[in-house]
């Protein structure tokens, strides 16, 4: 199963910011209602079938609030679970369990929602040989977590940001003065070049310049299939723009190497996970 890189500084920072945002100077309700010495047992339970992501954050969250007596993870990121299945169990001071409840659920529900949708995309293209990619359309400050959730669902991560891959898009082409000019200037980086193309003429020009990957943007499946036959393996092909769960298989069957969809991260529904607390 896929494990989250929970000690990465960006992730630790996200957890700390989330706790500070929710708890602030203190949980006044729990302090008023719950004796300081009271212990409790809490369980995170799936309320619907889902693909787990981010469960490894649970011990990190509680550790940031002083720790608990026991944390037991009963599922792993990338695992498919059914309704009623326990994902994790925590035992310790009731006040700590209560003040961490919403932050833990927010992460688990959001990230598992992404993994669940990602798995549906992957299953939709099964047997085509086409790989599904995520995009940079992520929640600001949570990109690393959301991309790990997408990977837990089975998709392939595209570039993390503007710094780790060359992708020439239509606005770059406009500012550079054309496809050829943009590619020639990017070549000095010594990296593989992917370029967004929106017409047959741009495809021809990009191929003549030696682009290694073409991003066919906003083509219909029929148009994309015709262009992929023309490209004939001279470059890898990614299809993007308007790719949804409903049409992703049609795009995958065009012969493309990759399809990418921002919906995997920007439109994933938070799944239903419950936190059940009892006295210990």
69 a catalytic residue: no
Q: Which of 196, 202, 205, 227 is catalytic?
A: 196
**Residue 145: pLDDT over 60:** yes
Q: Which of 102, 187, 198, 234 is catalytic?
A: 102
196 a catalytic residue: yes
The tens digit of pLDDT for each residue in 204-215 reads: 999 999 999 999
- What is the rounded average pLDDT of the residues 90-106? 98
The sheet with strand 258-260 has its strands ordered as 131-133, 258-260, 236-240, 213-217, 193-197, 166-168
Asked if domains 9-122+268-279 and 126-266 share a fold, the reply is no
- In the beta sheet, which residues pair with residue 156? 133
pTM equals 0.95
Q: Is the dihedral of CA 126, 128, 131, 137 positive or negative?
A: negative
> With bands split at pLDDT 50, 70 and 90, how would you rate the model's confidence at 74?
very high
Question: CA–CA separation, 110 vs 103, rounded Å?
Answer: 11
**Residue 1: pLDDT over 60:** no
Q: Which of 89, 91, 120, 137 is catalytic?
A: 137
169 a catalytic residue: yes
Q: Is the dihedral of CA 114, 116, 117, 123 positive or negative?
A: positive
pLDDT at 268: 98
CATH class of segment(s) 126-266: alpha beta
The tens digit of pLDDT for each residue in 148-196 reads: 999 999 999 999 999 999 999 999 999 999 999 999 999 999 999 999 9
pLDDT at 75: 97
**Residue 2: pLDDT over 70:** no
The answer to whether 197 and 215 are in contact (CB under 8 A) is: yes
- What is the rounded average pLDDT of the residues 33-45? 97
217 a catalytic residue: yes
Question: CA–CA separation, 3 vs 76, rounded Å?
Answer: 7
**Residue 224: pLDDT over 60:** yes
Question: CA–CA separation, 258 vs 238, rounded Å?
Answer: 4
Question: CA–CA separation, 154 vs 131, rounded Å?
Answer: 10
pLDDT at 5: 85
**Domain 9-122+268-279, CATH among 3.20.20.80, 3.90.1170.20, 2.60.40.10, 3.40.605.10:** 3.90.1170.20
As given in the structure block, the two tokens for residue 101 are 């409840």
As given in the structure block, the two tokens for residue 17 are 């910011």
Which position has the token pair 């792993």?
Answer: 76
Q: Which of 217, 236, 253, 272 is catalytic?
A: 217
Please state the domain extents for the chain.
9-122+268-279, 126-266
Tell me the three state secondary structure of residue 168. Answer: strand
Question: CA–CA separation, 128 vs 252, rounded Å?
Answer: 6
As given in the structure block, the two tokens for residue 225 are 């299939």
Give CA separation, 61 vs 98, 104, 111, 164, in Å.
Answer: 12, 7, 15, 30
13 a catalytic residue: no
Q: Which of 3, 16, 47, 169 is catalytic?
A: 169
The answer to whether 29 and 94 are in contact (CB under 8 A) is: no
As given in the structure block, the two tokens for residue 65 are 């609030």
- What is the rounded average pLDDT of the residues 203-228? 97
**Residue 54: pLDDT over 80:** yes
Question: What is the residue-averaged pLDDT of the chain?
Answer: 96
């Amino acid at each position: 199963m896929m494990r989250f890189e929970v000690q990465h500084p960006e992730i630790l920072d996200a957890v700390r910011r989330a706790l500070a945002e929710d708890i602030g100077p203190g949980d006044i309700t729990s302090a008023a209602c719950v004796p300081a010495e009271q212990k409790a047992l809490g369980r995170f339970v799936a309320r619907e079938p889902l693909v787990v992501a981010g469960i490894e954050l649970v011990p990190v969250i509680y550790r940031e609030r002083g720790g608990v007596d026991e944390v037991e993870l009963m599922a792993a990121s990338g695992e498919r679970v059914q309704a009623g299945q326990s994902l994790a169990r925590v035992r310790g001071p009731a006040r700590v369990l209560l003040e961490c409840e919403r932050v833990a659920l927010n992460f688990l529900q959001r990230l598992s929602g992404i993994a669940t949708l990602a798995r549906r995309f992957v299953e939709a293209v099964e047997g085509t040989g086409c790989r599904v990619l995520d995009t940079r359309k992520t929640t600001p400050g949570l990109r690393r977590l959301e991309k790990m959730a997408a990977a837990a669902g089975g998709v392939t991560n595209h570039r993390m940001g503007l710094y780790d891959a060359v992708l020439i898009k239509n606005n770059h082409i406009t500012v550079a003065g054309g496809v050829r000019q943009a590619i020639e200037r990017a070549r000095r980086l010594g990296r593989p070049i992917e370029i967004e193309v929106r017409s047959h003429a741009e495809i021809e020009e990009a191929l003549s310049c030696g682009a290694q990957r073409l991003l066919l943007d906003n083509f219909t499946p029929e148009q994309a299939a015709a262009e992929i036959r023309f490209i004939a393996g001279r470059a890898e092909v990614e299809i993007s723009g308007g790719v949804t769960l409903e049409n992703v298989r049609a795009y995958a069957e065009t012969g493309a190497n990759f399809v990418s969809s921002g919906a995997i991260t920007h439109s994933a529904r938070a799944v239903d996970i419950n936190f059940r607390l009892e006295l210990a």
